[in-house]
Structure formats: structure tokens, C-alpha cells
Structure 1
Amino acid sequence: MRKILIVLTSLLLTACVDDTASYYADGSTGNHALTLHRAQKHFWSKNSSVELIMQRLPECLRRIELTDMPADEVEIELLSGGDNVWTLRAGKEMWQVETQSCTQYPDVKGDGGELIGVFRVDGNKLVFEAAVLEPAGSDTTAPSK
């Protein structure tokens, strides 16, 4: 009986989601990063809790609970307002954080800034997809000669 319970428990746990995806603001050193963590607390739950782990080492390391959303529908945009100010947007919900002093603003100020990329589910894994940024001064609507 005990062996059956062990096997069943391991099968039930495999249905749970618990993963992360990161954006490295400083390139690849990992000293300045924004990481989204998605965790499904129970295998029968369709929702997952989503939290942000922001770090700018050694001054800043903080975890902030953002929201609950369907585990397979996590899609959160990351925007940069400059000066280490970051905005995360999921539909109508928005959160603004600042990694210089490791704080979360109570209200989002401005439009959030420039789109850096999107945290989303690809397959069954949370990933960060960088936005395709066009060089300043490029005009894709100009007629060609």
C-alpha cells in the first residue's frame, strides 16, 4: 500500500507548475535581473501565483507577489522607464518597481516606457522573449526609391 501511495504522490506532483524566466538588465552577469516566478500550488488548480524577483546585487534583492492567473495563460509585458524603473503589464493590471532602491511604487506613473520584452508560456515552460527594437531614426514607412 505504501508503494502505491508513493507512486501516486509523484504522479500528482508532476502536474504542478513551478518555473521561472529572467530578463538580465546587465547582460548576462545576473547581478541585475528581473525574474518572473510562476507556481501552481495544487495539481487540481488551473491558476498559478505569479511573483517578481528583482535583484541588483548587492544592494537589491526582493520578491513581490503580483497576481494569480491561469497557469497556461501567463503573459506579462516588461517595460523600461529608464533609471532602473520597470513596469510589468498583464492586461489592465500594472506594477511598477525600481531596482535602485528595491521598491515597488503604489501607483504606476506614466505609460511604463519602452517595451523590453514579454514573459509568456511557450510549450509548458515560462520564457522571456525580448522585443525586437528598431534603431532610432529608422523609418520603415518611407517610400523606397
Structure 2
Amino acid sequence: MRKILIVLMPLLLAACVDDSASYYADGPVGNHALTIHRAQKHFWSKEARVELIMQRLPDCMRRIDLTEMPADEVEIELLSGGDNVWTLRAGSEMWQIETQTCTLYPDVKGDGGELMGVFRDDGGKFVYEAAVIETVPADTK
């Protein structure tokens, strides 16, 4: 029986989701990043634990559990309020953080700010997609 379990274990673990995507506030080689990590505890579970890892080195490094949601439906918007204040929004749930002192605020204040992008599942791979900012040409007279 033990040999059968050992042989089947990789197949059981193959269906698990355990990945992350990052937004780099100061460019891809910087020390200021927000990472969303999603992980299923068991292969039969449809729910994934979603957590935020925020870092602004050397002053800030913190992991915060956010919520649980279906693994293939994780979609979290990232908004910037300026001054290292960030808001994460998933449906009706919202979290506001500040990376200067690694703080999770108890309540979200304001509208969250400017949309920076979205963390989401893209065909089984978890990615961060930057928001497309369209400029509106000024009327010329």
C-alpha cells in the first residue's frame, strides 16, 4: 500500500495551485514590490488561500493573509493612492496597505486611487497585468 501511495503522490500534487505574481513599484530590479500568492491546501479543494507579500527593503517585509477564493477565479486589482499607499480590490473585498511602515489599515479610506493593474489567472498561470493608460488628446482649436 505504501508503494502505491508513493507512486501516486506526484499525480495527486500535480493538480494543486501554488504560484504568485508581482508588481514592482520601482522597476524590475528594485526593492519595492507587492506580490500576490495563491495556494490550494489540497488538490481536491477548489478554494485557494490568497496572501499579500509586501516589501520595500530594507524597511518593510510582511506577509498578510487576505482571503480564500476559487483558485481559477483569483482576480485582484491594484490601485495606487500615492505616498506608498496601495489598495487591493477583489469584488466587494478591499484592503489598504502602506509600504513605508508595512501597515495594513483596518479600513479603506477614499476610492483607492489610480488603477495600476490586475493580478489574475491567465490560462492556469498567475500573472500581473499592468493597466493600459490611454491618453485623451486635447481638443485643438
TM over 0.5: yes
Percent identity between matched residues is 79
Q: Quote how far apart the aligned CAs of 1:28 are.
A: 1.1
Aligned pairs for 1:1-145 within 5 A: 1-135=1-135, 138-139=136-137
For the structure 1 residues 69 and 26, does the alpha-carbon distance in structure 2 shift closer, same or farther, using more than 3 Å as the test? Answer: same
Partner SS state of residue 9, structure 1: helix
5+ long unaligned stretches in structure 1: none
How many Å separate the matches in 1 of 2:40 and 2:5?
21
Runs of at least 4 residues of structure 1 off by over 3 A? none
How many Å separate the matches in 1 of 2:137 and 2:81?
Answer: 23
String of CA shifts for 1:9-31, please: whole Å, max 9, x gaps.
11000111000000000001240
Gaps of 5+ in 2: none
Distance in 1 of aligned mates of 2:15 and 2:117 = 28
- Counting matched residue pairs gives 141
